[in-house]
Structure 1
Amino acid sequence: MKRLTTMLCAAQVCWAAMAGAAPLSITLPPETAVFKSSGLPGYPLAQQKCSTCHSADYINFQPPGMTLAQWTAEASKMQQVYGAPISDQDVNTIGAYLAVTYGSAQASDAEVQAGSNPPPAPAAKGDAMALLQNHGCLSCHAIDHKVVGPAYHDVAARYGSGPQALTRMAASIEHGSSGKWGEMPMPPFAQLSAQELQTLTTFILHQ
């Protein structure tokens, strides 16, 4: 009995020491993986939309020599199963890029050419909310609270107002950024037109 009591006391001391210990802090190495460069329209789309959810290294984990149909099915799975913010046209465009760059397809293949047509412009080009939804912005941002990235209300407060604020924010959206709001990088949105960038920045700065 005495031995059992001693063991229980020792266990209590051990648990107390663990409870008082500082929480373990883990620092992950910076992201270095990038998508392979390509002139296909799926390349900037993959940079923008695929990297929202996972590293470019995920692509390298797939079996080599995958066909266009297999890569397109993989992109479709991201849309249908995991809710990736990509349209049906995006699925075909990204699938064509991945099949040529990482798989067995050739850029000259008729199926690749058909799948590589640039995605259509947003249905309501001048509508900021349509742009935000079409390009998956609302997967990471909200108007008044943080999601993955900061709330647009907080972004507007930091940037202020005036022409310089519009220019700086437009550049950040177009080229992407990292380190401004923590470790999570923002992918580039290079496919947006100057008018679309102005529509988005004006909307955000008025939140």
Structure 2
Amino acid sequence: MKSMKPMMTLLCAAQFCLATMASAAPLSITLPPETAAFKPSALPGYQLAQQKCSICHSADYIAFQPPGLSLAQWTAEAGKMQHVYGAPISDQDVSMIGAYLAVTYGSAKASDAEVQAASNPVAAQPPAVPAAKADPMALLQNNACLSCHAIDHKVVGPAYHDVAARYVNDPQALTKVTSSIQHGGSGKWGDIPMPPFAQLSAEDLQTLTTFILSR
């Protein structure tokens, strides 16, 4: 009968390796800070790209696309993000982002009639019936706020409950939080920057700020 000693030695070695792996500290990887940025533009699609495209990918993704794409091609690319990858952007956002990308990175010009129409879709529509006061949860969802925040736990940014707790005794809370939403910034809750939401109306800003501070 063959000796079982070699087999027992291998089993002991394997057990020792598994125990060592189990007791080892988890590997921590620190990524370098994001340095890529969208090229500035006066077109409204620039703000939307900063706010919504940055949720899913770096601005470097734009630079990897073929140069000289047309308005139709860039709009189709933005539409793909919406329909294929589930990006939190509306059809109107797609048009505006496509116009910005086509002018800034492609072959279109800001003075083109198609670019003007895509960048100002509301101007081409008849006056709308005044809408009811905006629902805060609808504003959060439509502006992709819930991709980075939650009510009661940290996601990318702080929980709204924690924001409310920080400002509970601050008489300037409404002004400070409104400014943070409108202008963005970094450093208050860590190194990850918050993009500006300059397109929000004063009423929408007040609705969001009041909702957040009441959590």
Q: Deviations over 1:168-193 (max 9, x none)?
A: 10111112133433454321111223
- 1:128 maps to 2:131: no
- 1:142 maps to 2:145: no
Structure 1 length as normaliser, TM-score? 0.87
Match of 2:116 among 93, 110, 113: 113
Say whether the 8 Å CA contact 1:143–1:153 is kept in structure 2. yes
Q: Deviations over 1:65-114 (max 9, x none)?
A: 22211111111111112222211111000001011111122222222122
What are the ranges of 5 or more consecutive residues in structure 2 without an aligned counterpart? none
Give, as a single letter, the amino acid of the residue that structure 2 aligns with 1:53.
C
Q: Deviations over 1:34-84 (max 9, x none)?
A: 100111111111111111222111211222222211111111111112222
Give, as a single letter, the amino acid of the residue that structure 2 aligns with 1:140.
C
Give, as a single letter, the amino acid of the residue that structure 1 aligns with 2:186.
S
More deviation in 41-50 or 130-139?
130-139
Are the structure 2 counterparts of residues 75 and 5 from structure 1 closer, same or farther at C-alpha, using a change threshold of 3 Å? Answer: same
Q: Which protein shows a greater Rg?
A: 2
Are the structure 2 counterparts of residues 195 and 163 from structure 1 closer, same or farther at C-alpha, using a change threshold of 3 Å? Answer: farther
Q: How many residues are aligned here?
A: 207
More deviation in 155-164 or 84-93?
155-164
Q: CA RMSD in A?
A: 2.4
More deviation in 136-145 or 106-115?
136-145
What are the ranges of 5 or more consecutive residues in structure 1 without an aligned counterpart? none
- Report how far residue 135 of structure 1 moved: 1.8
Corresponding residue for residue 6 of structure 2: 3
Match of 2:70 among 45, 64, 67: 67
The residue matched to 1:18 in structure 2 has which SS? helix
Are the structure 2 counterparts of residues 47 and 10 from structure 1 closer, same or farther at C-alpha, using a change threshold of 3 Å? Answer: same
Match of 2:188 among 160, 180, 183: 180
Distance 1:14 1:119 in 2: 65
Corresponding residue for residue 43 of structure 2: 40
Structure 2 length as normaliser, TM-score? 0.84
Distance 1:141 1:101 in 2: 30
- Report how far residue 166 of structure 1 moved: 0.7
- Report how far residue 146 of structure 1 moved: 4.0
- 1:99 maps to 2:107: no
Corresponding residue for residue 86 of structure 1: 89
